[in-house]
């Protein structure tokens, strides 16, 4: 196992980090035919866990998230799937927008179904910033897919949530 740094996160250190191998971009078709891009960071060793990582608002899956995926893949033998939400990165859709929030929830369900079908082991959804807020709302959706757990990284739950400090 390689040494995993435990120093504080900073955008400066992330920008200075060595580049990591980016797997070939894959696509899945959503319920309405929208093409969703994702990057499968697959462990070379037997894994018992799969993480689908949802980026923050205005971002995309290769905006630094590849370092998280690479570390989980190589240091902890976890399969990680970096998803570009519709309208972000290389996914289709109006940039930064979606017809309705349920379209995004259906997208996430489609991705969960595909990962469950193709990969053994537990499924976890992980969201960063407003991606964490999106997951929290997905949790309350009656049609959500059952997964083994959720992770929230630096969650941004919205300006009305009362969770932001002044």
Span 144-165, pLDDT tens digits: 999 999 999 988 766 766 666 5
pLDDT exceeds 60 at position 56: yes
CA distances from 35 to 22, 70, 128, 131, 133 (A): 19, 24, 22, 19, 23
Domains and CATH numbers, the chain: 18-153 (3.40.50.1820)
pLDDT exceeds 60 at position 3: no
Pairing label, strands 26-29, 49-54? unpaired
Confidence at residue 72, expressed as pLDDT on a 0 to 100 scale: 95
- Sort 84 into a burial class: Cβ within 10 Å, 0-12 / 13-18 / 19+: buried
Identify whether the C-beta of residue 132 lies closer than 8 Å to the C-beta of residue 59: no
At 86, list the tokens: 């519709």
Calpha distance 90→54 (Å, rounded): 14
Calpha distance 134→48 (Å, rounded): 25
pLDDT exceeds 60 at position 1: no
Identify whether the C-beta of residue 84 lies closer than 8 Å to the C-beta of residue 35: no
């Amino acid at each position: 196992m390689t040494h995993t740094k435990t120093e504080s996160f900073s955008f400066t250190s992330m920008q200075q980090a060595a580049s990591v191998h980016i797997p070939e971009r894959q696509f899945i078709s959503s319920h309405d035919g929208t093409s969703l891009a994702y990057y499968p960071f697959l462990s070379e060793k037997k894994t018992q866990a799969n993480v689908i990582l949802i980026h923050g608002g205005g971002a995309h899956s290769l905006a630094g998230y590849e370092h998280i995926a690479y570390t989980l893949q190589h240091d902890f033998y976890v399969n990680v799937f970096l998803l570009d939400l519709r309208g972000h990165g290389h996914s289709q859709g109006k940039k930064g927008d979606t017809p309705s929030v349920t379209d995004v929830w259906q997208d996430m369900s489609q991705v969960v179904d595909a990962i469950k079908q193709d990969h053994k082991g537990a499924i976890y959804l992980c969201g960063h910033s407003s991606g964490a807020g999106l997951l929290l709302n997905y949790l309350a959706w009656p049609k959500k897919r059952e997964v083994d757990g959720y992770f929230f990284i630096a969650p941004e739950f919205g300006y009305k949530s009362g969770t932001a400090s002044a």
